[in-house]
Structure 1
């Protein structure tokens, strides 16, 4: 019989809403999700006392570890320190960086993990990738997605608005990333996973046309669901391809060249997505993306990121080197430094 389906290591449980942290007890009681009772909680040093107290009440016997450093080296050291301690489940509680560390530690030790989000800054919530700091900037490491994702809207009430809206930029950038993937298929024959594309595009379209704002529960639920969908899209094809193209290359370049000016990942890839769409000659998409970003008071132009035009030009020139082997509009056009400068200046003038 021909194979009619494929197995995907996606979260088994996704609970989004008010008070969903309390569902953790049911998750831990399910032997299919939680193999034992030796739990290590990885949290950030700035975790709120309210969240910490509530979670300690749910897992009173867990060991708590504070992740001070988001580097790949520090994550490796933490994974090694915990390897022979008898733990069998990692709970990450925090923003994207903490959840990435938790996923990395769990994967390094072949343990399952549970993600409890306290912000919605990027699409790593349920993805098979951990973004960690390295000597050359940020690096992507393949991991296993969490078995469960909890987004409790009550935990987001004290989150700075920027750490909610940043996730919008990450989701919207899917539109540009998909266009890059389809371009790679036409130009090089690279295979495109239609299911992954459908999931990533659905997530992006949800954000592109949603009339709400980060102050609205309905919008936050839609954003959280979109972040999860993007993570599953990446898991589906075993790559960040449906959610990462020239937009992410530009963001990585900014991190590498101007680390002191780095802004939240979602802000940078949002600007990168508008520029990549403009560079692609797709003015309607560029305009739609810019409108959606401005709807949420997010950056659209280099100056909104605190970058000069020349600095953004340097980032675009450097961008392809951040992801060797990934074919995007930048690699396709292969423009000279001078030509990139002209395009960036045209972009700034068009969207100012």
Structure 2
């Protein structure tokens, strides 16, 4: 079996780099279909237009404010075709980036990814998470290639709410532990091969940076400044976690996140916030050392990430609801089956309650 590592064709990170988008998108297209939210378009449109001024490239901005669902993808594809565009640009958060990648896949055109926060590791991946129109996780759309360009303007990201950067830490937190589980089980990665040593090293480096710079970065972005720690966390959240999860594989943490999307009480949470709690649940499943659990739970507490069911919005624990979460986490095709031992619904149910108890213990 081949070892495979995949990544975007080009990754650019730096302060003010959106101003240079023209230079980074040479030869990708002549008419760009730019998908973003109304607020982000107001914030970035003038910068993008200024960058392309004096060229013959046309820009078509499209406001999107919905779920990354098949219905919404089809609507935007029709808009793109009506605009005669030959490339798509996603500017925004995870759902906008995922829908831009999905449009690129179905229309067979290049895609440029411009994250405005480092809240997930979605930007670099050849993957789109699809949801129903109501926001319930549906499935992963596996794409044949990674984005043509990921352009990360750290000036923009550092001014986003601190909660978004910390949610990205929550998402990135799972990378090393899921990679470690996949290594032990000899699981296939998202590229359909075995992980390389380089990919696993990136996953471990990602975790090391979160421990070293997570709290420093939180304090910096709360004051709307971009320090070296913030730059490091942005790289860990977007690039290291993106390459790490995709080229190593997913395990229980993301499956448990998917299960919690069933609960209305958790809908207010960001992706990475749910993944952070899912990571603690995975460590309980593995019976990880108390030292490792303390390290992860302590980091989450410092960064304001969920460590209890109450933090997740579940103020009243109902056995049926938690069992439904556990059942969904163990559905066919879920990453939980990449764990190096067999996991069933009862195991996940017990681990969720145990993780909650640990979190309550350390929050005292």
Q: TM-score of the superposition, structure 2-length normalised?
A: 0.81
Alignment gaps of 5+ in structure 2? 221-225
Matched, 1:285 2:286: no
The answer to whether the 8 A contact 2:253-2:336 is kept is no
Q: Distance in 2 between matches of 1:193 and 1:91?
A: 30
More divergent stretch after superposition (111-120 vs 59-68): 59-68
Q: Distance in 2 between matches of 1:281 and 1:147?
A: 40
Distance apart, 1:266 and its partner CA: 0.4
Q: Deviations over 1:4-27 (max 9, x none)?
A: x97x66323322221111221211
Matched, 1:258 2:279: no
Q: Tell me the equivalent position of 2:31.
A: 38
The answer to whether the 8 A contact 2:172-2:206 is kept is yes
**1:186-335 counterparts in 2 under 5 A?**
192-194=194-196, 195-210=198-213, 212-214=216-218, 215=220, 216-226=226-236, 227-235=238-246, 237=247, 242=249, 244-258=250-264, 261-282=267-288, 283-308=290-315, 309-310=317-318, 311-312=321-322, 314-321=324-331, 323-324=333-334, 326-329=336-339, 332-334=342-344
The answer to whether the 8 A contact 1:279-1:343 is kept is no
Distance apart, 1:53 and its partner CA: 2.0
3-state DSSP of counterpart to 1:305: coil
Q: Distance in 2 between matches of 1:334 and 1:11?
A: 35
**1:1-352 counterparts in 2 under 5 A?**
10-28=7-25, 30-31=26-27, 34=28, 36-47=29-40, 49-59=42-52, 61-70=58-67, 71-83=69-81, 85-134=83-132, 136-143=136-143, 144-185=145-186, 192-194=194-196, 195-210=198-213, 212-214=216-218, 215=220, 216-226=226-236, 227-235=238-246, 237=247, 242=249, 244-258=250-264, 261-282=267-288, 283-308=290-315, 309-310=317-318, 311-312=321-322, 314-321=324-331, 323-324=333-334, 326-329=336-339, 332-334=342-344, 336=346, 339=350, 343-344=354-355, 346-352=357-363
Distance apart, 1:63 and its partner CA: 0.9
Q: TM-score of the superposition, structure 1-length normalised?
A: 0.84
Alignment gaps of 5+ in structure 1? none
More divergent stretch after superposition (193-202 vs 315-324): 315-324
Q: Deviations over 1:261-293 (max 9, x none)?
A: 341010111011012112311132222211222
Distance apart, 1:306 and its partner CA: 1.3
Note the aligned Cα RMSD (angstroms): 3.0
Distance 1:345 1:166, change over 3 A: closer
Q: Deviations over 1:195-222 (max 9, x none)?
A: 3322222222221232622324222211
Distance 1:312 1:303, change over 3 A: farther
Distance apart, 1:341 and its partner CA: 6.9
The answer to whether the 8 A contact 1:249-1:322 is kept is no
Q: Deviations over 1:55-97 (max 9, x none)?
A: 2322463111112322222113322442475322111111111
Distance apart, 1:128 and its partner CA: 0.8
Q: Deviations over 1:143-191 (max 9, x none)?
A: 23222222212222441111111000111111321233134339xxx97
